Chains A and B, each alone.
Chain A
Amino acid sequence: MEIIHVLFNITVLALIVNTGLSLYGVFARPSLVKKIIALSIFSDTINLIVVLIGFRHAEPNPVPPILISVPPTKEDIITFMQKAVDPVPQALVLTAIVIGLAVTLYLMFLTIQIYRIYGTTDVRKIAKLKG
């Protein structure tokens, strides 16, 4: 039981480090393309943390929240209640992935338009321009 706790803590710590690294990429790197890459890493990390909150420990192993037989028998429902992980964060994350793709596409078109007008994607050079 101890080694499982240590490994799970390593997982959570590495995800928090990922969040910090991607926020550094969004705020401190000059290129707009690099900002878009870091923003997608940030949103993926948050999605993963949300799914990780819905995860739970079960013996001998947790199962996906899927009912195979329709209508479910009593044994199926008992197994679902005892072993299945939480399905609500998974449904929310599935929506968030698709919405994140749409937002990223919008930012990419903005970046292409900025490059067409100003001739650069460096925010330090864009900030110095007038007009």
Chain B
Amino acid sequence: MITLEVYYLLMAVATVLSTVATYFAVIERDLVKAAIFSALQSSFYALIFYLLMAPDIFLTYVPVSVGLYTALVLILIKKTERYEGE
């Protein structure tokens, strides 16, 4: 039996880890690594959506924001520059 404290603990841990992932996604100069950190942050957000009792948003958010969006950013980086601020 999972108590209610575990839900809130998972929510807090996931948001703090997503803050770390956001920091590295914004700071990182290699844009491929930034896209991967952005996908990591989206994974934590998907977990939080599930814990906030929104399973339909969870099912939409995982393929759109973790899969499709990361693939589009990688295609964009392939067509333009890989490193920012030369």
Residues of A within 8 A of B (CB): 3-4, 7-8, 10-11, 14-15, 17-18, 21-22, 24-25, 29-34, 36-38, 40-41, 44, 48, 51-52, 55, 59-65, 84-85, 90, 93-94, 97-98, 101, 104-105, 108, 111-112, 115, 120-122
Q: How many A-B residue pairs have CB under 8 A?
A: 146
- Are the CB atoms of A18 and B19 closer together than 8 Å? yes
Residue among B22, B79, B84 having the largest count of chain A Cβ atoms under 10 Å: B22
How close is B33's CB to chain A, nearest CB, in angstroms?
A: 11
Q: Whole-angstrom distance from the CB of A81 to the nearest CB of chain B?
A: 15
Nearest A residue to B23, CB-CB: A21
Interface residues of B (CB under 8 A from A): 4-5, 7-9, 11-12, 15-16, 18-19, 22-23, 25-26, 31, 34-35, 38, 41-42, 45, 48-49, 52-57, 60-61, 64-65, 68-69, 72-73, 76-77, 79-81, 84-86
Residues of A within 8 A of B85 (CB): 30-31, 122
Docked-complex contact B54 and A34, CB < 8 angstroms = no
Q: Which residue of B lies closest to A10 (CB)?
A: B12
- Among residues of A, the one whose C-beta sits closest to the C-beta of B4 is A61
Q: Which listed residue, B4, B26, B38, touches A24 by the CB 8 Å rule? A: B26
* A19 vs chain B, min Cβ distance (A): 9
| Contact (Cβ within 8 A) A10 B64 | no
> With A and B bound together, what is the CA distance between A63 and B52 in angstroms?
9
- Are A37's CB and B45's CB within 8 A? no
Does B84 contact A97, Cβ atoms closer than 8 Å?
no
The smallest beta-carbon distance between A125 and chain B, in angstroms, is 9
Chain A residue nearest to B76 (CB atoms) is: A108
Decide if A85 touches B9 in the complex (CB within 8 Å): no
Known: A48-B45, A112-B80. A4 touches B35 (CB 8 A): no
